[in-house]
Structure 1
Amino acid sequence: MLLRIFPENPSSRQIRTVVECLLDGGVIIYPTDTVYGMGCDIFKSKAIERIAQIKGIKVEKANFSFICSDLSQLSDYTRPISNDVFKLMKKNLPGPFTFILNASNSVPKLIQSKKKTVGIRIPGNNIPLEIVNELGHPIMSTSIHDEDEILEYTTDPELIYEKYKNLVDIVIDGGFGDNEASTIIDCTGSEPLIIREGKGELI
């Protein structure tokens, strides 16, 4: 299904449709403040496996992130963070950043990396934030950006739909996306470290 949702004012009925799909174990593609993402409910292991299959990777090797609606969800999924890291995140989120943090034991083991870390995203786009709010917990996220292919399909939702319509349950058309991924900051060491330069500059 191709579902048009306006990011400025997402319709609660349409958001509910997406959330019901996620609760049923569905896989969705949705806009963020960077490239379009593919995601599912973090507690639906079969959906996570589906995404890994679609991307042609092993689940345990995948770099999945959590889309959260705000920083209050951190304590459920990450180990305690320093005041400095919290301030850095608070200043820059919502925004085009992925913060790598140490994962708590409640993170589904299926999507923990061997380092026991989790990527946290709070994108500056109302659509994923409203979905997470309605769902009540984060969604698992991975980018559909593929550097080996022509980039257009990552920005035009209709092209994304043509490519993925038989693989996912809902493609959300939230307008054209970006073709630059998020900046990744590793906050698991003594100092935050930028490990991928992407869209956005830290303040």
Structure 2
Amino acid sequence: MLRDEVAKALKIVQDGGIILYPTDTIWGIGCDATNTDAIKRIYQLKQRDEAKSMIILLDTENRLESYIKEVPPIAYELIEFAENPLTLVMPGAKNISPAIINEDGSVAIRVARHDFCQQLIQRLRKPLVSTSANISGRPSPQNFNQVDPGIIDGVDYVVDLEQHNTELKKPSTIMRLQPDGRFEFIRR
């Protein structure tokens, strides 16, 4: 089942599509983080201002240096010891679509600790965009049952995993991390 869903989602994402999928936090809308057209479709679907950034997911912290010019050494420790899912906003984004890079050159990155996400990213060999599966300004869905029907209808594929899980999940903690190791919490 997991392998089949990864294969289906992979084909959609490789073909420039967008997916609705479970993560280690809340349900997300995603696409290839190097595909500007797909990223713009997500902004349109969410009715979100393109100045508001989205997160990219990696399968392992070993790939941080592929997408950040200068990874602060503390980033690896923060990821390793975080008790809850942690998103790090770091400057010096590279090798991803300009549509996902903040005006200040930073990008929000989370290392996914979810089997589906990890396997999809490994097979895609690129980061995956992840943004909450809601219309901008509305509450983030804490499980699949809370996802807006307009979001479900607007994606190219809905991953058939964990749809009946009613556990209430919450978004990741977000920290802004500077190259010198200074950090601040954006969302706890």
Matched, 1:18 2:18: no
1:195 offset after TM fit, Å?
A: 1.3
2:55–2:129 Cα contact (<8 Å) kept? yes
* Fraction of identical pairs, as percent: 22
SS in 1 for 2:24: coil
1:145–1:179 Cα contact (<8 Å) kept? no
Matched, 1:51 2:42: yes
Aligned residue number for residue 144 of structure 1: 133
- Say which of 25, 33, 43 aligns to 1:34: 25
Matched, 1:102 2:80: no
* Change in 2 beyond 3 A, CA 1:109/1:163: closer
Aligned residue number for residue 63 of structure 1: 53
TM-score (norm 1): 0.80
1:40–1:47 Cα contact (<8 Å) kept? yes
Q: Which amino acid aligns with 1:19?
A: L
Determine the C-alpha separation between the residues in 1 that align with 2:68 and 2:131.
18
User: Which blocks of at least 5 consecutive residues in structure 1 are unaligned?
Assistant: 198-203
SS in 1 for 2:53: coil
- Say which of 122, 136, 139 aligns to 1:133: 122
2:87–2:173 Cα contact (<8 Å) kept? yes
- Say which of 143, 165, 180 aligns to 2:170: 180
Q: Which amino acid aligns with 1:166?
A: D
- Say which of 74, 96, 110 aligns to 1:84: 74
SS in 2 for 1:165: helix
Q: Which amino acid aligns with 1:104?
A: A
Q: Which amino acid aligns with 1:119?
A: A
- Say which of 100, 103, 106 aligns to 1:117: 106
SS in 2 for 1:57: coil
Determine the C-alpha separation between the residues in 1 that align with 2:136 and 2:126.
30
Aligned-pair RMSD on alpha carbons? 2.3
> How many residue pairs end up in the alignment?
184
SS in 1 for 2:147: helix
1:36–1:155 Cα contact (<8 Å) kept? yes
TM-score (norm 2): 0.86
